[in-house]
Amino acid sequence: MDIILQTNNLSKRFKNKLALKNVNMTIYRGDIYGFVGENGAGKSTLIRLVTNILRPSTGSYSLNLPKRLGVVGAIVESPAFHPGLNALQNLRYQSDLLGYKKTDEELLVLLDKVGLEEQRNSKKVVKNFSLGMKQRLSIAVTLLSNPEFILLDEPMNGLDPAGIKEMRDLILELNRKGTTFLISSHILTELDKVATRYGFISHGELVEEISVRDLHKKAKSYTEVKLGSEVNAKVRELLSGLNFKEASATTLHFATVAEAQNALKLLVANDISVTSFEEIHETIEDYYLQKINKGVGA
């Protein structure tokens, strides 16, 4: 597979704090790489390192991309625009400043693409924009150069549900056209709808890299049966031939649906109240929390 970003024992120290420790990350062309970690885990530090905002203390990284202006696009800090200009004027200013010289028609297409079509002819200036509107405008600026690799640090921040969906659709559309993404986000339910691979980081260390396919294979699933009363000796004797775990005083977990169904028949036949029967699938959040609790290499 074609590697776009490779880090080699990448580390960063700020005075007495080691923010990143020997991170070895690989991102392949076409990935939507979900970068997951708690606040302060090192996500933003890594993004700042590979975009040359910071210099590594030790280690290195390499980007396998054409040598052209704007081949990498990134949003790594809070959006910053001229507060007295409207959306189109800000885009035009950024386009000229960065040397892209886009036409107004091209800029209007970008506004449409990021969900700011209502700002096409608006006199509303950026200082009166919501955080979500500024976030969308940041994406438009990032797209000025038609980047092949885009790094987004918390791109869903400030967006309402409709805005989150538009951002998700835009990421998927650009990815279908060949753009590779690294996305740092704490909204794991949203990452789960776009990511093709994950990197889990905790306390500056990369705990695991895993594809979505392999994650789904490794994620646990079970069937939960809740009783109307506490599990007692009678229940244990009835179900003695089945594989189950007592998750709480009134809750049983079964490894398979078939075993849970057999248990349900036995319980009902013996007048034992069952209040719920549900298949449970481990979420990315569950998997991540288990992984960081176990640590690197677990």
Give the CATH number for residue 272.
3.30.70
Residues 29, 161, single domain; the answer is yes
- Report if residue 287 sits inside a domain: no
Measured distance between the N- and C-terminal CA atoms of the chain, rounded to whole angstroms: 26
pLDDT in tens, 120-145: 888 999 999 988 888 889 999 999 99
Distances (CA, A) of 257 to 208, 261, 266: 30, 6, 14
Residues 118 and 233 in one domain: no
Report how far apart, in Å, the C-alpha atoms of 123 and of each of 88, 116, 138 are: 9, 13, 18
| Cβ-Cβ contacts under 8 Å for 93 (sequence gap 6 or more) | 82, 85
Q: Per-residue pLDDT for 296 more than 70?
A: no
Cα–Cα distance, 52 to 75 (Å, whole number): 13
Question: Is residue 236 situated within a structural domain?
Answer: yes
Q: Are residues 199 and 66 in the same domain?
A: yes
Query: 35 lies in a domain?
Result: yes
Considering only residues 292 and 194, tell me which one the structure prediction assigns the higher pLDDT: 194
Both 112 and 230 in a single domain? no
Ranked by mean pLDDT, which of 160-164, 267-271, 278-282 comes out on top?
A: 267-271
The reply to whether 161 falls in a domain is yes
Domain boundary among 159, 182, 216: 216
| pLDDT confidence band for 287 (50 / 70 / 90) | confident
* 200 lies in the same domain as 242: no
Q: Indicate if 131 and 8 belong to the same structural domain.
A: yes
DSSP element (H, E) containing 88: helix 87-98
115 and 240 fall within a common domain: no
Whether residues 97 and 123 share a domain: the answer is yes
Q: Are residues 158 and 200 in the same domain?
A: yes
Q: Is residue 98 domain-resident?
A: yes
Domain count, the chain: 2
- pLDDT value of residue 126: 93
Average pLDDT over the chain, rounded to whole?
A: 90
- Structural domain ending residue among the three candidates 216, 241, 259: 216
Q: Measured between alpha carbons, how far is 125 from 85 in angstroms, rounded to an integer?
A: 5
CATH for 132 = 3.40.50.300
Amino acid occupying residue 198: Y
Q: Where does residue 19 rank: exposed (0-12), middle (13-18), buried (19+ CB within 10 A)?
A: buried
- Does the pLDDT value for residue 255 go beyond 80? yes
User: CA 250, CA 231: separation in Å to the nearest integer?
Assistant: 6
Q: What is the pLDDT of residues 26-69, one digit of tens each?
A: 999 999 999 999 888 999 999 999 999 999 999 999 999 988 87
119 bridge partner residues: none
pLDDT in tens, 137-170: 999 999 999 999 999 998 887 778 888 888 888 8
* Residue 73 shares a structural domain with residue 39: yes
Q: Are residues 141 and 207 in the same domain?
A: yes
In a domain, residue 235? The reply is yes
Domain residue limits at 125: 3-216
Confidence check: pLDDT of 100 > 90: no
Looking at the predicted structure, is the pLDDT value of residue 293 above 80?
Answer: no
Do residues 195 and 183 make contact, with C-beta atoms less than 8 angstroms apart?
A: yes
H helices present in 177-283, as ranges: 188-191, 212-218, 233-238, 257-269
- Residue 167 belongs to a domain: yes
How many Å is the Cα radius of gyration of the chain? 25
Assess contact for 148 and 179: CB atoms under 8 A: yes
Q: How far is CA 26 from CA 38, 66, 139, 197, 198, in A?
A: 20, 18, 24, 10, 10
Domain ends where: 163, 184, 216? 216
Residue 174 included in any domain = yes
One-letter amino acid at 162 equals: A
Residues 173, 231 within the same domain: no
pLDDT tens per residue across span 162-216:
888 888 888 998 999 999 999 998 778 888 899 999 999 999 999 999 999 998 8
> Half-sphere exposure (CA, 13 Å, Cβ side) for 193?
14
What is the greatest pairwise CA distance in the chain? Answer: 78
